[in-house]
């Protein structure tokens, strides 16, 4: 009986080519697994394609709600953004995909998991660290790093290889952007984007959004509610998180929200340039941030900034299934108990404009904040506070003056 390998299958040319390659070079029984994180129409026709390519079985596993509830939301609540711009769309999806691959490998009694990530990118790290953490006994096969066996160098090579193995599918040799899509985002790399001096061809690139200059000339007001840091409704309609992301994608895409051009530092040491479309995610993170401004105290907000930055790095580096990641998420969750309320904002040509925020747990006191303060705040109390708060500065200045005088007098 042949040993089984579970292949992370997208249906594209690369992973389709890997099916006969695995059978020819290793004699494996190939079980394909496509993990649906919200790729949409990209999943159409996968079953037929996998079978034509020689796979013995194809699993299509819907993990969209798990992805949204247990991977996206912890990052939203933490305000986890990598290098100030990237909302971790691909980074958050890889651990949930790896978890499902391991689950199918256990179900099928497979001895290995194979992925089609290249040797230059971050995804190989994210997949393999997750697999090591969840199933250290399983082998991992990464064809693009096995240059002694994987000798295909171009799309035409792959098409020719498939045809030689009786697989004649309508793959194109045309060059195009390298894209990754899920419910949270759509990334674009390649072509003119490989030169940071070149302006992106947004007319050609964008698929979820319109450029801000082509967005409507009128603002659109949106109202969202949150309970304990989790979004619960959009414009009065209660929805689960995944449907909220879908709705916000529609609204954000219409108004050119969340288009990012970034040169980021990959884990493997190189810089790469890409365009990210994250319309709904950008809105969700901004709305959540607006509510936290009302409900979190200063010290907690300061610590959350550090936690959010650290979580972004941990997730970007593929370390989701680690004690550190678990601890960072646990801290974040503990801060969300009172992040409940209503956020209103306007969307206009790439901008999210505040239009009012309310919460039953708001720490904002109008009487304290106004110029005509009441009994809780006495202006004279600021005298002693400033004296003590500024004492280190005053002492240092005095000592520096003494030292300067001693130097002038020739004593030092």
Above 60 in pLDDT, residue 166? yes
Number of structural domains the chain divides into: 3
Whether 252 and 107 map to the same domain: the answer is no
Classify residue 322: in a domain, yes or no: no
Q: Of 140, 164, 188, which residue constitutes the final position of a domain?
A: 164
Sheet holding 186-189, edge to edge: 178-181, 186-189, 271-277, 259-265
Above 70 in pLDDT, residue 374? no
Residue 258, burial from CB neighbour count under 10 angstroms (0-12, 13-18, 19+): buried
What domain range includes position 199? Answer: 178-296+335-358
What value, to the nearest 5°, has the Cα angle with vertex 253 and ends 67 and 294?
70
Whether 222 and 123 map to the same domain: the answer is no
Give whole-number Cα distances, 361 to 226, 230, 234, 298, in Å. Answer: 12, 15, 20, 15
What's the rounded mean pLDDT across residues 102-127? Answer: 97
Above 60 in pLDDT, residue 283? yes
Helix axes 391-408, 381-389, angle to 10 degrees: 50
Whether 285 and 139 map to the same domain: the answer is no
pLDDT at 377: 81
d(CA 152, CA 20): 13
| CB-CB contact of 232 with 341 (8 Å) | no
Classify residue 50: in a domain, yes or no: yes
Per residue in 55-71, pLDDT (tens digit) is: 999 999 999 999 999 99
Classify residue 133: in a domain, yes or no: yes
Whether 249 and 342 map to the same domain: the answer is yes
Q: Which two tokens stand for residue 213?
A: 């200059």
d(CA 131, CA 204): 36
R_g (Cα) of the chain, nearest Å: 26
| CB-CB contact of 63 with 96 (8 Å) | yes
pLDDT at 98: 98
Whether 44 and 160 map to the same domain: the answer is yes
Above 90 in pLDDT, residue 369? no
pLDDT at 13: 92
Classify residue 138: in a domain, yes or no: yes
Q: Which two tokens stand for residue 367?
A: 């009487």
341 — phi, psi (to 5°)?
Answer: 155, -165
Select from 351, 234, 340 the least CA-distant residue to 288: 340
Whether 341 and 222 map to the same domain: the answer is yes
Whether 268 and 341 map to the same domain: the answer is yes
Classify residue 38: in a domain, yes or no: yes
pLDDT at 24: 95
Classify residue 385: in a domain, yes or no: yes
Whether 202 and 236 map to the same domain: the answer is yes
Classify residue 320: in a domain, yes or no: no
Whether 141 and 256 map to the same domain: the answer is no
Quick one: DSSP state of residue 176?
A: -
Whether 398 and 350 map to the same domain: the answer is no
d(CA 98, CA 201): 33
Q: Which two tokens stand for residue 273?
A: 């340039």
Select from 130, 115, 96, 125 the least CA-distant residue to 14: 115
Per the document, the length of the chain is: 412
Lowest mean pLDDT among 146-155, 285-294, 299-308, 322-331: 146-155
Q: Provide the CATH number for the domain around residue 134.
A: 3.40.50.620
- Round the average pLDDT of the chain to a whole number and report it: 95
For residue 42, what pLDDT band results from cuts at 50, 70 and 90? confident
Classify residue 372: in a domain, yes or no: no
Sheet holding 237-238, edge to edge: 237-238, 230-234, 220-227, 341-348, 351-358
Whether 233 and 273 map to the same domain: the answer is yes
pLDDT at 370: 66
Residues designated as active site: 14, 94, 123, 178
274 — phi, psi (to 5°)?
Answer: -155, 165
Q: Provide the CATH number for the domain around residue 215.
A: 3.90.1260.10
* Token pair 């000339």 in the structure block, residue: 217
Q: Which two tokens stand for residue 290?
A: 């607006």
Above 90 in pLDDT, residue 269? yes
Whether 121 and 79 map to the same domain: the answer is yes
Q: Which two tokens stand for residue 192?
A: 């003119």
DSSP H or E segment with residue 220: strand 220-227
pLDDT at 41: 87
d(CA 113, CA 181): 22
pLDDT at 132: 98
């Amino acid at each position: 009986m042949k040993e089984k390998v579970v292949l992370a299958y997208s249906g594209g040319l690369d992973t389709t080519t890997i099916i006969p390659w695995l059978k020819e070079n290793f004699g494996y029984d190939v079980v394909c697994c496509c993990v649906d994180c919200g790729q949409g129409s990209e999943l159409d026709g996968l079953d037929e394609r996998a079978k034509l390519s020689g796979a013995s079985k194809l699993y299509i596993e819907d993990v969209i709600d798990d992805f949204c509830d247990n991977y996206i939301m912890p990052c939203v609540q933490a305000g986890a953004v990598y290098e100030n711009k990237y909302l971790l769309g691909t980074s958050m999806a890889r651990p949930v995909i790896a978890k499902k691959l391991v689950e199918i490998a256990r179900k099928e009694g497979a001895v290995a998991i194979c992925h089609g990530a290249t040797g230059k990118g971050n995804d190989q790290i994210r997949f393999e660290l997750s697999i090591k953490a969840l199933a250290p006994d399983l082998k991992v096969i990464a064809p693009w790093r096995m240059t002694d066996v994987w000798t295909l160098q171009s799309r035409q090579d792959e098409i020719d290889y498939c045809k030689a193995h009786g697989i004649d599918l309508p793959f194109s040799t045309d060059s195009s952007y390298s894209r990754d899509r899920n419910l949270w985002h759509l990334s674009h790399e390649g072509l003119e984007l490989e030169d940071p001096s070149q302006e992106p061809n947004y007319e050609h690139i964008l698929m979820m959004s319109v450029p801000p200059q082509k967005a409507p000339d009128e603002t659109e007001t949106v109202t969202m509610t949150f309970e304990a840091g989790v979004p619960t409704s959009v414009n009065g309609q209660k929805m689960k998180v995944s449907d909220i992301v879908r709705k916000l994608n529609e609204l954000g895409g219409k108004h050119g929200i969340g288009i990012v051009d970034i040169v980021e530092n990959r884990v493997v040491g190189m810089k790469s340039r890409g365009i990210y479309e994250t319309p709904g995610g950008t809105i969700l993170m901004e709305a959540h941030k607006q509510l936290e401004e009302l409900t979190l105290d200063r010290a907690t907000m300061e610590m959350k900034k550090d936690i959010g930055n650290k979580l972004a790095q941990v997730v970007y580096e593929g370390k989701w299934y680690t004690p550190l990641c678990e601890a960072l998420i646990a801290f974040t969750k503990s801060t969300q108990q009172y992040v409940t309320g209503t956020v209103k904002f306007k969307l206009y040509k790439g901008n999210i404009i505040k239009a009012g925020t309310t919460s039953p747990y708001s720490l904002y006191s109008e009487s304290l904040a106004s110029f005509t303060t009441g009994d809780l705040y006495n202006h004279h109390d600021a005298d002693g506070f400033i004296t003590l708060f500024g004492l280190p500065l005053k002492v240092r200045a005095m000592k520096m003056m003494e030292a300067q005088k001693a130097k002038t007098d020739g004593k030092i």
